[in-house]
Amino acid sequence: MGENLTIRRNKKIKKILLLVFLPIISGLLVWLVGNTILLNSAAKAPVDAYLVLGGSIKREIYIAQIAKKYPEIPILISSGSAEPCVVGLFRQANAPLDRVWLEYCSKSTFGNFFFSLPILEKWGVKHIKLVTSRTHLPRAKWLGQIILGSHGIWVETDIIEQKGIPGNRESLLKAGLDVIRSLMWAFASQFIEPKCTDIAKLSEVNVQKWCDSGFKCEHKRELKLHLICNP
């Protein structure tokens, strides 16, 4: 009698689990197939935005040249140099400022994609070029492909060579932990959107206010400071 009751109870539990998890698994499979189709399409589309990861002025010097060459493509610099310093680099390159945005909420590589995703989605971006350094790979590429790829955004890397001590130090443990939380966020970001209030359009930066405050820029050798306060 007791054994039959246990068997019936186990069957009932299995049915409940099947009813709960079958729709979830089915929905996940449908989403994966649909997202794969979107990514294949996005990979064939032209690049419609640049995402620059902060950590090296070489990347900002490079992207200023890109802005000059392709002024119609929007650029997002995530946690790069201070606002007036970026303005100075773009002025130095005679590059336009009106399609460049700066985001300062992120404090890590994971944060770069965490906060950049909603901005890129609002722009309707489908194919980005991720500007970073070789010392930042493969972690940056993996995180971008997981987080942005989960929203149908194809990630192509643009590697900037740099000399000296790298701004990013990679380790297998660090990469592994970031990949795990990126996979978790790839799911959660389908329902949750982070908010960042520290965003600036480069053409709207109040340079005079910065000049009055006596700011300083790093890497003075690469930057002609007089172009900032006395253009």
pLDDT score, position 60: 94
pLDDT score, position 93: 92
Q: What mean pLDDT is predicted for residues 57-67? A: 94
Residues 95 and 204 in one domain: yes
The whole-chain average pLDDT of the chain stands at: 84
Asked if pLDDT for residue 166 goes beyond 70, the answer is no
The residue ranking higher by pLDDT, 59 or 218, is 59
Domains held by the chain: number: 2
Residues 57 and 129 in one domain: yes
Q: What mean pLDDT is predicted for residues 163-187? A: 77
What is the DSSP track for the chain? -HHHHHHHHHHHHHHHHHHHHHHHHHHHHHHHHHHHHHHHHHHHSPP-EEEEESS-HHHHHHHHHHHHH-TTS-EEEES-S-HHHHHHHHHHTT---TTEEEE----SHHHHHHHHHHHHHHHT--EEEEEEEGGGTTHHHHHHHHHTGGGT-EEEEEEE---SS-S----HHHHHHHHHHHHHHHHHTTT-------EEEGGG--HHHHHHHT---S-GGG--THHHH--
Q: Look up the domain containing 18 and give its range.
A: 1-44
Confidence of residue 11 (pLDDT cuts 50, 70, 90): low
Residues 40 and 61 in one domain: no
CATH of the domain at 185: 3.40.50.620
Q: What are phi and psi of 214, to 5 degrees?
A: 70, 45
Asked if pLDDT for residue 112 goes beyond 80, the answer is yes
pTM of the model: 0.84
Residues 98 and 198 in one domain: yes
Residues 134 and 225 in one domain: yes
The residue ranking higher by pLDDT, 38 or 146, is 146
Residues 163 and 90 in one domain: yes
Residues 29 and 125 in one domain: no
* pLDDT tens digits along 68-110: 999 999 999 999 999 999 999 999 999 999 999 999 999 999 9
Asked if pLDDT for residue 1 goes beyond 90, the answer is no
